[in-house]
Amino acid sequence: MIKILLNTRELQIPHNFVKLVKDSMIYDSSSSTAACVFFIEKDQGYFLKTAPKGKLKREFEMTCFFHKKGLAPEVIDYQSLDRDWLLTQRVPGEGANQIEYLRQPKKLINIVVEQLQKLHELHFTEISAINRTDSYIQTVELNYQKGVFNPNFLSSRDLFKTSYDIFDYIQEIKPLLESDTLIHGDFCLPNVILNNWKFQSMIDWDCSGMGDKHIDLFWLLWTFQHQLKTATFKDYILDCYGREAIEMSILEAIPYFEVFG
């Protein structure tokens, strides 16, 4: 976890949270520019996330839902003021990308895949979940118009293709993406919290909703390859999840969407 000690006097914290942060050590724990995350070192610890107004509402709702399913941390408070503020309880442990876990990749894969399967098997009629497939495709198409293009997700055989070629192919394949599974949407090892090899929770549910499971499977494969610096365990990961539940043509198409992500 990223921890940069902050001067609390310079922070503009809403009145609702002043008592909590008083006499506490506060750290910047942000991992992206989309939102700012403060770690409050008090009691068992808290995370206070802030983003532009309205941006955390869905994450608040989905985190509450998944907490009831044993997959997410407890939400303490949510305030939508000039900005959105989301306060969650820290769960014991660290991200699954810690070196002690990466040293035993097959053991780690078994644990992480089991939790992904639990997520994908949840009954979705209990929640009015956002259609992530629609928003996923909309983001891709908007970013294409903006000129966004990240070839790092492409295999070596595709590096010669232009953004136009790839976008044209996406138009053919996008009708095949389903919206029949509850997905995390950013299923990477830092977002899976383990404590002494025991699963604790998943975090950062802002991309979750009803979507295509192959998006999560793509990020599952990507995160292990990224962290281990090898694709050696790809087949093992797919076997653990269950190849009978995977459409390889769809899984292999997801990187083409992600170049515009």
81 close to 90: Cβ distance less than 8 angstroms: no
Residue 100 structure tokens: 């002690």
Considering only CA atoms, which of 174, 175, 183, 148 is closest in space to residue 259? 148
Please state the residue numbers annotated as binding site. 191, 204
pLDDT for 159: 78
Distance of CA 221 to the CA centre of its chain: 14
35 close to 55: Cβ distance less than 8 angstroms: yes
Could you give the residue range(s) of every CATH 3.30.200.20 domain in the chain?
4-89
pLDDT for 29: 83
Q: CA-CA distance, 178 to 163, in Å (whole number)?
A: 24
110 close to 224: Cβ distance less than 8 angstroms: no
Which DSSP letter does residue 162 get?
Answer: -
pLDDT for 254: 98
Q: Quick check: is 77 catalytic?
A: no
Q: CA-CA distance, 85 to 56, in Å (whole number)?
A: 7
**Active-site residue, selected from the candidate residues 186, 206, 212, 216:** 186
pLDDT for 8: 64
List of the chain residues with pLDDT < 50: none
Could you give the residue range(s) of every CATH 3.90.1200.10 domain in the chain?
94-258
Q: What is the CATH number of domain 4-89?
A: 3.30.200.20
Name, in order, each residue with C-beta under 8 angstroms of 139's C-beta and a sequence gap of 6 or more.
Answer: 260, 261
pLDDT for 126: 59
pLDDT for 129: 67
Topology, domain 94-258? Aminoglycoside 3'-phosphotransferase; Chain: A, domain 2 (3.90.1200)
What is the largest distance, in Å, between two alpha-carbon atoms of the chain?
57
Please state the residue numbers annotated as binding site for Mg(2+). 191, 204
pLDDT for 1: 59
